[in-house]
Amino acid sequence: MAASAAARVQTVVAGAGVVGLACARALAASGREVLVLEAEPHVGSGVSSRNSGVIHAGIYYPRGSLKGRACVDGRRRLYRFCEAHGVPHRRVGKLVVATHASQLPALDALREKAEACGVTGDDERLRPLDAADVAALEPEVRCVGGVLSPSTGIVDAHELMLALQGEAEASGATVACAGAVERAEALPGGGVAIEAGGMALHAAELVNCAGLDAPRLVSGLRPGAVVAHHFAKGNYFSLAGRSPFGRLVYPLPDAQTAGLGVHATVDLAGRCRFGPDVEWLDGPALDASAFTVDASRAESFYAAVRTYWPGLADGALAPDYAGVRPKLSARGEAAADFLLQRSGDHGCRGLVQLLGIESPGLTASLALADLVVDALDEDAAAR
């Protein structure tokens, strides 16, 4: 890249999904000149466009993990942000249910993990329920016991991203769509040289929030560096008619797939979807089939859902949508934590990378954004 031909910009954010837009908002509010580069024609068209819209409480993650800390902090901030900006959302609550007596100890362990993650407020703590308690809340659910997460909610993810974009732009950020980062190269004195959408840029700071494309940028920025990355597809099936549930209903997490099990989500219009399952994809290439639902998977969905909702009628499910999750753990491995790489991790001053940002990335977005600002502030102070 020719240095003389490159335009200079203070901070570039690669990716305009929910995390990238949250970072752009926080960085612009800190007084930085911010340019967001998005490969797709519209913001939020990648991983974020296929989000279930759940505001997670933070009950599943190991104590001290970045996922756990950012989810709990981010969830509280997210509710405040939605209320302040009129983003449609609702604190509906979630039931996690045991369908066999042998699963009851796992419910106790789940509550203990939630306490360790900081889900401790009176309106947040998981509440133990017996079968009668669950039936009183959700008559269609059959189980031997459960826990209620009162702070779990749902949000219109698209409206959330528009609100984040609006705040970022109001603080001076520029969002450029259809401008994929084609190449990025760390500069010896700090900062990054970038080619994107026919432009040559020199950025003092780069935040890699490129989702499924983030590992490609890593390899360009650090020649020879290998960041293990894997893609797991999640399929959803929709239910005909209105939801039989007023809350979200989850089975216990599936240790074999490192997923949360095929669960029932409701949206703000009262529609119900089931999913996601976990379908591991082979190889790094993603084509159109990665984002379509194979109708033949319905059989496994009926079996999974009927473990807690035996009233599900034949023919009631239809293929809905699919998303692909960027993962740092492989098939058969325990779920990996989020990875936030600072300059001390890779040696490039002014570069922050967010890798493996899957669920609960939406919930954690505002908290992750503040961590990004902190990391870049530290680099700026060291210059």
CA distance 194 to 33: 16
Q: Which long-range contacts (CB under 8 A, 24 or more apart) does 224-227 make?
A: 225/346, 227/328, 227/339, 227/355
Say how far apart CA 15 and CA 26 lie, in whole Å.
15
pLDDT of residue 257: 63
pLDDT reported for residue 251 = 96
CB half-sphere exposure, 181, CA atoms < 13 A: 34
Which pLDDT score is estimated for 272? 97
What residue ranges of the chain have pLDDT lower than 50?
1-3
Q: What is the pLDDT of the chain when averaged over all its residues? A: 92
Count of all residues that appear for the chain in the document: 383
Give the tens place of pLDDT for each residue, 320-362. Answer: 999 999 999 999 898 899 999 999 888 889 999 999 999 999 9
Q: Tell me, which fold does domain 3-49+158-228+336-382 have in CATH?
A: FAD/NAD(P)-binding domain (3.50.50)
pTM here is 0.95
What integer pLDDT is reported at residue 118 of this predicted model?
Answer: 86
**Which residues make Cβ contacts (< 8 Å) with residue 199, sequence separation at least 6?**
7, 179
- Amino acid letter, residue 180: A
Convert the pLDDT of each residue in 167-193 to its tens digit.
999 999 999 999 889 989 988 888 899
CATH architecture label of 92-152+229-327: 2-Layer Sandwich (3.30)
Residues of the chain with CATH 3.30.9.10: 92-152+229-327
Tokens linked to 65: 């993990």
Domain with CATH 3.50.50.60 in the chain: 3-49+158-228+336-382
Contact 97, 250 (CB under 8 A): yes
